[in-house]
Structure 1
Amino acid sequence: MTRTWFITGASRGLGRAFTEAALAAGDRVVGVARDITPLADLVAGSEGRLVAFPLDVADRQAVVAGVERAHAEFGGLDVVVNNAGGVLLGMVEEVTEEQARAHLDTNFFGALWVNQAVVPLLRAQGSGHVVQVSSMGSAGGFAATGLYSAGKAALDAMSEALAMEVERFGIKVTIVQPGGYRTELFTRGLAMTEENAAYAPLRAWLNDLWSESEDFDPALAASVLLRVVDLPEPPKRVVLGGAAYGMVEEMARARAAELAKWEHLSRQAG
């Protein structure tokens, strides 16, 4: 059965890979982004199965109108992918109020506005699958990515609540946690703080650490996402990437060990 997708941040990176994979599967896609110019070639070759228009997910009124337009394009929505986002890189002390609010407006509130706009439509049709593109970084805070991880952790918590709220309406929710992929996230999608010299040694250590990481083809992530949305009972959470899975698992074990270490104090509190 042909599905209709609504994908935010569809013009580049993982969003583009998801769009290409959905089209290759014979599905229809409404792809939105602030700049849809990179989608022109896909639109031209889609035989009408890809509709693209500009949308800034940080604008709640624009999101409501955009979702209604997307729903009307093909007469419904089956898969909604909240993918739009960027990275704010810098120490917590360095982040300005303007940077923090702008970052969360896209990475957290953007997904919230889309969710609020699509749920009534999916509830009315009694089906649908919402995919929240989080990050392996949501599993725990890490130096220089504190605001990014905070936004993704907030997205995770909101998504878990949403899943419980809408499951009785036939709506599925899956949180996907990608690792490193060859996208423009750390170029076009990157904002940086003004560096405080006090953190220079830590930054040097982080640069050495990150220089050893490997990024993968976004098409690999897209192929797994296609398998996820094909499942009658999809996972509520899935990590994308073997290396990412290992790191998320390691962070979970470390957190469990820390919890157990101080159990005796926790139990003294009541």
Structure 2
Amino acid sequence: MSKVILITGASRGFGKIWTEAFLKRGDKVAATVRNLESLTDLKAQYGDQLLPIQLDVNNREASFAEVNEVAAHFGRIDVLINNAGYGLFGAVEETSEIEARNQMETNFFGVLWLSQAVLPIMRVQQSGHIIQVSSFLGLVTLPVLGIYNASKFAVEGLSETLASEVKDFGIHVTLVEPNGYTTDWAGASAAQTTSIDAYNPLKQGFQEAASTPGIFGDPQATAAPILDLVDNSNPPLRVLFGKFAYTAVTQAYKERLNAFEAWKTVSEAAHGN
């Protein structure tokens, strides 16, 4: 049976690759973009299977209206994939108020609004799957991506809580946590702070590390895994996408557990009698 998928940020990168993968196998897809022309090719090929929607996920009222339109159009929503987001590159000290707020508006509040909007529909259905495209940087951090890291940590906390709240309604929540991929996430889609010279050596080291061969994954390789995830009747709360993500996160968690154990006596003393 075909599924009805609502996916945000479908104009490029993961969003467009996954949209096409769903359409190819016969699913119905409502795809949100800021520019409808970015879906002209898929609309011409797949016709009524695809419902293109112009949406700024920062707009809560519009997000609710468009989710309801999708449910009315297709009769249900089986899967929501919150994919819209972008990277803000720059040291924490460099980041302006507007840059920080814009990052959180899209990467966190956009996820919150779409999740809230789809929940009444999925509760009535007594089924549904909300997939949040987080990042391995919602579990570990890298320098000069502080606000982006923070936005993904926020998505992680929100989604883990949400999963515990909606499981009795037959609704699953999954956090997809990719490492870097050869999309334009770090290029045309990214934002940059105004540089402070003192951080230039740090940024240079970051760029050199990012040029390591094989560190970035192939975005096309994520199509089959996302289909498998959508089809799974018992999906995980979290799934890492990419070899680097797996290595970085598992190593960081081992170090955290060791540090917790080393400071166990202090933790117990802080509890009191």
- TM-score, normalisation: structure 2: 0.96
In the alignment, the residues of structure 1 paired with residue 260 and residue 143 of structure 2 have an alpha-carbon distance, to the nearest angstrom, of: 21
**Which residue matches 2:115?**
115
Indicate the percent of aligned positions where both proteins have the same amino acid: 41
In the alignment, the residues of structure 1 paired with residue 55 and residue 187 of structure 2 have an alpha-carbon distance, to the nearest angstrom, of: 20
Amino acid at match of 1:100: A
SS at match of 2:16: helix
In the alignment, the residues of structure 2 paired with residue 92 and residue 258 of structure 1 have an alpha-carbon distance, to the nearest angstrom, of: 25
**Which residue matches 1:196?**
196
**Which residue matches 2:156?**
156
**Which residue matches 1:235?**
236
Q: Which moved more, 1:158-167 or 1:16-25?
A: 16-25
The answer as to whether partners of 1:129 and 1:229 remain within 8 angstroms in 2 is: yes
Aligned length in residues: 270
The answer as to whether partners of 1:39 and 1:52 remain within 8 angstroms in 2 is: yes
Q: Map 1:42-81; keep pairs closer than 5 Å.
A: 42-81=42-81
SS at match of 2:176: strand
Q: Which runs of 5+ in 2 are unaligned?
A: none
In the alignment, the residues of structure 2 paired with residue 28 and residue 103 of structure 1 have an alpha-carbon distance, to the nearest angstrom, of: 30
Shift of residue 264, structure 1, vs aligned partner: 2.2
**Which residue matches 2:147?**
147
**Which residue matches 1:258?**
259
2:102 corresponds to 1:99: no
In the alignment, the residues of structure 2 paired with residue 61 and residue 188 of structure 1 have an alpha-carbon distance, to the nearest angstrom, of: 28
In the alignment, the residues of structure 1 paired with residue 57 and residue 148 of structure 2 have an alpha-carbon distance, to the nearest angstrom, of: 17
In the alignment, the residues of structure 1 paired with residue 186 and residue 140 of structure 2 have an alpha-carbon distance, to the nearest angstrom, of: 19
The answer as to whether partners of 1:77 and 1:122 remain within 8 angstroms in 2 is: yes
In the alignment, the residues of structure 1 paired with residue 181 and residue 17 of structure 2 have an alpha-carbon distance, to the nearest angstrom, of: 11
In the alignment, the residues of structure 2 paired with residue 72 and residue 185 of structure 1 have an alpha-carbon distance, to the nearest angstrom, of: 33
The answer as to whether partners of 1:81 and 1:133 remain within 8 angstroms in 2 is: yes
Shift of residue 220, structure 1, vs aligned partner: 1.4
In the alignment, the residues of structure 2 paired with residue 203 and residue 188 of structure 1 have an alpha-carbon distance, to the nearest angstrom, of: 18
The answer as to whether partners of 1:178 and 1:221 remain within 8 angstroms in 2 is: no
Q: Deviations over 1:111-145 (max 9, x none)?
A: 00001100001001111100000001111232101
Q: Which runs of 5+ in 1 are unaligned?
A: none
Q: Deviations over 1:17-58 (max 9, x none)?
A: 110111122101000011232211001100310110210000
In the alignment, the residues of structure 2 paired with residue 182 and residue 249 of structure 1 have an alpha-carbon distance, to the nearest angstrom, of: 23
Shift of residue 258, structure 1, vs aligned partner: 1.9
In the alignment, the residues of structure 2 paired with residue 161 and residue 245 of structure 1 have an alpha-carbon distance, to the nearest angstrom, of: 23
In the alignment, the residues of structure 1 paired with residue 142 and residue 267 of structure 2 have an alpha-carbon distance, to the nearest angstrom, of: 25
2:180 corresponds to 1:180: yes
User: What RMSD in Å do the two structures reach over aligned CA positions?
Assistant: 1.1
Q: Which moved more, 1:208-217 or 1:139-148?
A: 208-217
**Which residue matches 1:8?**
8
Shift of residue 80, structure 1, vs aligned partner: 0.4
In the alignment, the residues of structure 2 paired with residue 86 and residue 217 of structure 1 have an alpha-carbon distance, to the nearest angstrom, of: 18
Q: Deviations over 1:230-253 (max 9, x none)?
A: 111111110011222111111211
In the alignment, the residues of structure 1 paired with residue 183 and residue 35 of structure 2 have an alpha-carbon distance, to the nearest angstrom, of: 16
SS at match of 1:32: strand
SS at match of 1:232: coil
SS at match of 1:66: helix
Runs of 4+ displaced beyond 3 Å = none
2:27 corresponds to 1:27: yes
- TM-score, normalisation: structure 1: 0.97
In the alignment, the residues of structure 2 paired with residue 62 and residue 105 of structure 1 have an alpha-carbon distance, to the nearest angstrom, of: 14
Q: Which moved more, 1:95-104 or 1:218-227?
A: 218-227
The answer as to whether partners of 1:5 and 1:29 remain within 8 angstroms in 2 is: yes
